[in-house]
Structure 1
Amino acid sequence: MNKTLLAVCVGALMSSPALAQQDGESTTSAQLEKLLEQMEQLQSRVAELEEQLAEEREKEVEKEVVIVKQDETSTSDTANAEVAPRQRITNNTALAARVERLEEDVEAAQNAPITIGGAVRAQYVWEDYNDANKDRGGDLDFDLIRIDYSGSIGDVILSAQYRWFQYMESVQHAWVGYNFDENWQGQLGITKVPFGVTPYNSNSYFFSSNFYVGLEDDHDAGVKLRYRDPEWDFDIAFFKNDEQGGVDGFVSNRDDRYAYDPVGVRFADEGIYDTPTLEVAESNSFAARVARKYTLADDQSFEWGLSGQFGQMNDGVDDVGDRSAWAAHGVYSVDRWTFMGQVSQYEYDMDMANDGIVVGAYAFYDTIPSKATLYTANIAYSLPVKFGPITNLTFYNDYSLMTNKRDGTEDTFMNVLGMAVSAGGLYTYFDLVTAKNQPFVGGSMVGDADETNTRFNINIGYYF
Structure 2
Amino acid sequence: MNASTRACALALGIAAALAAPCAAASGTSGQGKTAKSDQQKKADMAARIEIMQKQIDMLQKQLDDMRAQQTASQQQSSDTRKKLDTLAKDNKKTKAKVAKVEKKQKNGITVGGAMRFQYSYEDYNKNNVHRTGDADFDIFRLNFRGRVDDIELQAEWRWFQYMSAVKYAWLGYDFSKNQQLQVGLTRIPFGNQPYNSHNYFFSSNYYLGLEDTYHMGVEYVYSGDPWNVQLAFFKNDGMGGIDGYVSNRSNSYSYNVVGVRSPGEGIYADPQHPAASINTAAARVAYTFKPNDDLKIELGASGLHGGLEGPSSSIGNYSAYALHMNADYKRLNVQAQASRYDYNVDGGADRLAVGAYAFYDTIAAKADSYTFNVKYHQPVQWGPVHGLDFYNDYSLITNKSGQLPSTFMNILGVGVSAGDLYTYFDFVTARNQPFIGGSMAGDGKVEHRFNINFGFYF
- TM-score w.r.t. length of structure 1: 0.76
The 5 A counterparts of 1:332-371 are: 332-371=327-366
Structure 2 residue identity aligned to 1:454: H
Counterpart CA distance in 2 for 1:181 and 1:294 is 23
Match of 1:132, SS state, is helix
Equivalent of 1:455 in 440, 449, 456: 449
Equivalent of 1:270 in 258, 265, 278: 265
Equivalent of 1:329 in 324, 337, 343: 324
How far the C-alpha of 1:125 sits from its partner, in A, is: 0.7
Conservation of the 8 A alpha-carbon contact between 2:350 and 2:366: no
Counterpart CA distance in 1 for 2:440 and 2:264 is 18
Structure exhibiting the larger radius of gyration computed from Cα positions: 1
For structure 2, which runs of at least 5 residues remain unmatched after alignment? 1-89
Equivalent of 1:416 in 406, 411, 419: 411
How far the C-alpha of 1:202 sits from its partner, in A, is: 0.2
1:173-208 Cα offsets, whole Å, 9 max, x none, are 000001100111100000000000000000000100
Conservation of the 8 A alpha-carbon contact between 1:127 and 1:138: yes
Q: What corresponds to 1:393 in structure 2?
A: 388
Equivalent of 1:403 in 398, 403, 417: 398
Q: What corresponds to 2:238 in structure 1?
A: 243
Conservation of the 8 A alpha-carbon contact between 1:246 and 1:283: yes
Counterpart CA distance in 1 for 2:287 and 2:101 is 43
Q: What corresponds to 1:254 in structure 2?
A: 249
1:366-412 Cα offsets, whole Å, 9 max, x none, are 00000000000000000011111111100000000000001112110
The 5 A counterparts of 1:107-146 are: 113-146=108-141
How far the C-alpha of 1:112 sits from its partner, in A, is: 6.0
Q: What corresponds to 2:184 in structure 1?
A: 189
Structure 2 residue identity aligned to 1:456: F
**Which stretch of structure 1 is more off in the superposition, 332-341 or 189-198?**
332-341
Match of 1:247, SS state, is helix
Q: What corresponds to 2:378 in structure 1?
A: 383
Q: What corresponds to 1:198 in structure 2?
A: 193
Match of 1:212, SS state, is helix
Counterpart CA distance in 1 for 2:171 and 2:274 is 30
Structure 2 residue identity aligned to 1:453: E
1:20-47 Cα offsets, whole Å, 9 max, x none, are xxxxxxxxxxxxxxxxxxxxxxxxxxxx
Equivalent of 1:177 in 172, 184, 208: 172
Counterpart CA distance in 1 for 2:433 and 2:382 is 36
Match of 1:134, SS state, is helix
Q: What corresponds to 1:159 in structure 2?
A: 154
Match of 2:403, SS state, is coil
Conservation of the 8 A alpha-carbon contact between 1:186 and 1:226: yes
1:39-94 Cα offsets, whole Å, 9 max, x none, are xxxxxxxxxxxxxxxxxxxxxxxxxxxxxxxxxxxxxxxxxxxxxxxxxxxxxx9x
Conservation of the 8 A alpha-carbon contact between 2:371 and 2:393: yes
Q: What corresponds to 2:432 in structure 1?
A: 437
Q: What corresponds to 1:39 in structure 2?
A: none
How far the C-alpha of 1:230 sits from its partner, in A, is: 1.5
Counterpart CA distance in 2 for 1:227 and 1:111 is 22
How far the C-alpha of 1:104 sits from its partner, in A, is: 5.5
The 5 A counterparts of 1:267-346 are: 267-346=262-341
Structure 1 residue identity aligned to 2:108: P
Structure 1 residue identity aligned to 2:237: D
Counterpart CA distance in 2 for 1:371 and 1:154 is 45
How far the C-alpha of 1:354 sits from its partner, in A, is: 2.6
The count of corresponding residues between Structure 1 and Structure 2 is 364
For structure 1, which runs of at least 5 residues remain unmatched after alignment? 1-92
Conservation of the 8 A alpha-carbon contact between 2:107 and 2:149: no
Counterpart CA distance in 2 for 1:419 and 1:387 is 15
Counterpart CA distance in 1 for 2:162 and 2:281 is 32
Match of 1:140, SS state, is strand
RMSD: 1.8
Counterpart CA distance in 2 for 1:153 and 1:382 is 36
Conservation of the 8 A alpha-carbon contact between 1:434 and 1:452: yes
Match of 2:128, SS state, is helix
1:297-336 Cα offsets, whole Å, 9 max, x none, are 1121111100001000101321101010000001221111
Percentage of matched positions with identical amino acids: 50
Runs of 4+ in structure 1 off by over 3 angstroms are none
Conservation of the 8 A alpha-carbon contact between 2:372 and 2:393: yes
Match of 2:241, SS state, is coil
How far the C-alpha of 1:269 sits from its partner, in A, is: 2.4
**Which stretch of structure 1 is more off in the superposition, 346-355 or 304-313?**
346-355
